[in-house]
Structure 1
């Protein structure tokens, strides 16, 4: 522990203990992990809440959507705020908000508190994501550890949060309370740990509100690549939204089992294998990674379609695993293939990245709500069939367009530009690259 000299309100010197930077690095990574674990913990419990409070599939998907929309709004409006107020205050604000959200889940006695809790979770993740990603690079500016942890922590948090919540919900007492008590305690412990780290980044004396306002644009040289990426992004994020909202209900229907663990396993396969595949294909060219992802997503969606059509549970898990293998590479490939288009300037690239994020989050939320409405009107079985068929058409179209564009205009060695830092993981990207120095944005 280090001792830091500070000054109290009357000018007297005080000292407080601060964690070494190596330990602080782990604390910040734990903040990101915890934020996304708490988000995913809600997914396997939606069916329990639905039975307790008697709401429809539409309400269920709206609970998922309110999180995504608040998260997107927070990232777009406050993604760079830690440059002005510091990383620690933003992390503390996010962890405090996450603590309150867990408390509301513990107290929830109706759907109203569930909506407030989900909105606060979106706010908490948005506040933590940008500040944590920047703080990781501040604390470890050299080497790849910051980028690796930035990518792994959110996805690992989602995977572990879903499986632990489903296991506790099924086998532990107080299925809708225990997981939130545990997460609340972890939030408090992490908050106290963040209080003992030094401020990793610098601050600007005066806030430039113009820099906080998000830029959204698709420059002319990138329009072809962006148009190719859109069906891939819509297909994969639409599938992700469906799994995180209605996936556990689908598993219960096919398995004819009320065991919550099956829903957690389904989410674990999608997010966990997505993370593994992203790491395995990290060095593959963007277009190739996107193509591999689209093919895997198409096959996975078709296998899942067959599982639903034939009422074969094991095919559902196989299809989910195949889709998971395509999920990570598909997104990273689409992201990198778009932002590394030649002739796009650095200033234009910021607006292009924001456009990718907006498409991704809308594709996560809106199809999930449409799926909820269709489920209420026509049933989950038919809705899931149409959903899988739509995803397969979108991702297959992206693969075909990608091949056609590659054949018409094959890339050359001179057409490569440095790629910005990869996004943080499934549906967690901040609204601007987190490791851009403050001076570079002025």
Structure 2
């Protein structure tokens, strides 16, 4: 991993040897957004790839899901590595892997290369997420000690929203729709590599690096009741995100006749952008209150979305997406806020790993099932059943949270 950083080191000589901590904090936050934007950028392009290469909805969602397979594997294996070898080597290697995936996207001419690009991208993103989250905490400004937590909550959904919207705009209005967005992102990764080469190291080397590569998952006995009470809302909110990032543009095009690629990107942005805004606005509210509100808004948004799809009403589908997006952001903020509140520092890494694995499985597996169903039964019935099941899950989460508050 250190070799990938060493490659960028000569170029970094033109920069200050070590960036100021405040600038480094802002730069890492921007790199976090960049990584997540790169992960959602292919979403508006799936429709284009499908038209050019004539593959089914099943293949489309499988391409989406292989990214999550790589991401989960990376989280489990590489999640604690930066605690032992330092943040900069892991970030440098993750950026190099991400750049490799973008090159694969650039040269992709068929589905197998697309699969490879998404798999490499998932591994890179998983490695980068944990290292960037830890780096932000390391660089947390003394005058604003909670800033790292807010950025870690907002950056992922902000990046997903910007990536989908920016890619949709480039595909619709710029030349070379399946290439230009990756050139832009690749340029961003080159800049990110220069920044990482010049930023201060915030975590010293310590032994145990090889041992940290062994995946380990578990929930302490005393936390299991609180943890399992969060599972319905984790499943509902992340499954919703998976649907929008995989089939959202296809639903907009196939069910509502919105063939503009910018609209395809906007579908993802409506969910993730409102989620990011909700995370920021609700950051100071009590966690238990936010959790209840998130479950209620998820339920309401899914009911409205279901009605919009059933009736073919675009406006109702938009309103449902916005309401569900606020619920999505509130649920994510409160779920991980609850885990941070109930766990001791020595328990958090493993507990968050379990929560992320559940979340990303919910993000991918239902989307793949929906892809099979859309191929076999059609897009409209699949979308209706998916929305109905998620509505039931969200309502279950609401009931569970109300019962726990009552007790």
TM-score scaled by length of structure 2: 0.91
Seen in structure 2, the aligned counterparts of structure 1 residues 177 and 381 have a Cα distance that, compared at 3 Å, is same
Q: Give SS of 2:17's match.
A: strand
Seen in structure 2, the aligned counterparts of structure 1 residues 348 and 259 have a Cα distance that, compared at 3 Å, is same
User: Could you tell me which residue of structure 2 aligns to residue 300 of structure 1?
Assistant: 301
User: Could you tell me which residue of structure 1 aligns to residue 180 of structure 2?
Assistant: 178
Rounded to whole Å, the distance in 1 between the matches of 2:344 and 2:137 is 23
1:51-90 → structure 2 map (5 Å cutoff)? 51-90=51-90
Size of the aligned set, in residue pairs, is 391
Matching of residue 238 in structure 1 with residue 239 in structure 2: yes
Q: Give SS of 2:260's match.
A: coil
Seen in structure 2, the aligned counterparts of structure 1 residues 340 and 25 have a Cα distance that, compared at 3 Å, is closer
Q: Give SS of 2:72's match.
A: helix
Contact 2:108 2:114 in 1 (8 A): yes
User: Could you tell me which residue of structure 1 aligns to residue 32 of structure 2?
Assistant: 32
Q: CA deviation at 1:345?
A: 5.1
User: Could you tell me which residue of structure 1 aligns to residue 161 of structure 2?
Assistant: 159
Rounded to whole Å, the distance in 1 between the matches of 2:52 and 2:361 is 29
Matching of residue 382 in structure 1 with residue 381 in structure 2: yes
Q: CA deviation at 1:139?
A: 2.8
Contact 1:293 1:329 in 2 (8 A): yes
Higher mean Cα deviation, 332-341 or 295-304? Answer: 332-341
Provide Cα deviations, 1:145-174, integer angstroms capped at 9, x if missing partner. Answer: 323332322222111111010011011111
Higher mean Cα deviation, 281-290 or 117-126? Answer: 281-290
Q: CA deviation at 1:110?
A: 0.4
Seen in structure 2, the aligned counterparts of structure 1 residues 30 and 221 have a Cα distance that, compared at 3 Å, is same
Unaligned residue ranges in structure 1 (runs of 5+): 1-14, 410-442
Seen in structure 2, the aligned counterparts of structure 1 residues 185 and 351 have a Cα distance that, compared at 3 Å, is closer
Matching of residue 135 in structure 1 with residue 135 in structure 2: yes
1:25-424 → structure 2 map (5 Å cutoff)? 25-140=25-140, 142=142, 143=144, 144-204=146-206, 206-338=207-339, 340-341=341-342, 346-407=345-406, 409=407
Q: CA deviation at 1:367?
A: 0.3
Seen in structure 2, the aligned counterparts of structure 1 residues 244 and 285 have a Cα distance that, compared at 3 Å, is same
Seen in structure 2, the aligned counterparts of structure 1 residues 146 and 406 have a Cα distance that, compared at 3 Å, is closer
Q: CA deviation at 1:175?
A: 0.7
Higher mean Cα deviation, 386-395 or 118-127? Answer: 118-127
Larger radius of gyration: 1
Contact 2:77 2:212 in 1 (8 A): no
Rounded to whole Å, the distance in 2 between the matches of 1:261 and 1:245 is 15
Rounded to whole Å, the distance in 2 between the matches of 1:406 and 1:189 is 48
Q: Give SS of 1:17's match.
A: coil
Rounded to whole Å, the distance in 2 between the matches of 1:349 and 1:78 is 16
Q: Give SS of 2:198's match.
A: coil
Q: CA deviation at 1:71?
A: 0.7
Higher mean Cα deviation, 217-226 or 283-292? Answer: 217-226
Contact 2:255 2:380 in 1 (8 A): no
Q: CA deviation at 1:347?
A: 4.2
Q: CA deviation at 1:37?
A: 0.8
Contact 1:249 1:263 in 2 (8 A): yes
Rounded to whole Å, the distance in 2 between the matches of 1:221 and 1:189 is 45
Contact 1:339 1:352 in 2 (8 A): no
Seen in structure 2, the aligned counterparts of structure 1 residues 103 and 393 have a Cα distance that, compared at 3 Å, is same
Contact 1:273 1:324 in 2 (8 A): yes
User: Could you tell me which residue of structure 2 aligns to residue 3 of structure 1?
Assistant: none
Q: Give SS of 2:299's match.
A: helix
Task: Give the helix-richer structure, 1 or 2.
Answer: 2
Contact 2:87 2:135 in 1 (8 A): yes
Q: CA deviation at 1:117?
A: 0.8
Provide Cα deviations, 1:386-423, integer angstroms capped at 9, x if missing partner. Answer: 0000011001011112212322x2xxxxxxxxxxxxxx
Rounded to whole Å, the distance in 1 between the matches of 2:332 and 2:140 is 26
Contact 1:222 1:338 in 2 (8 A): no
Rounded to whole Å, the distance in 1 between the matches of 2:384 and 2:37 is 29
Seen in structure 2, the aligned counterparts of structure 1 residues 282 and 226 have a Cα distance that, compared at 3 Å, is same
Seen in structure 2, the aligned counterparts of structure 1 residues 133 and 293 have a Cα distance that, compared at 3 Å, is same
Q: Give SS of 1:195's match.
A: helix
Q: Give SS of 2:327's match.
A: helix
Rounded to whole Å, the distance in 2 between the matches of 1:393 and 1:117 is 35
TM-score scaled by length of structure 1: 0.84
Rounded to whole Å, the distance in 1 between the matches of 2:339 and 2:137 is 24
Contact 1:214 1:354 in 2 (8 A): no
Higher mean Cα deviation, 187-196 or 38-47? Answer: 187-196
Seen in structure 2, the aligned counterparts of structure 1 residues 267 and 285 have a Cα distance that, compared at 3 Å, is same
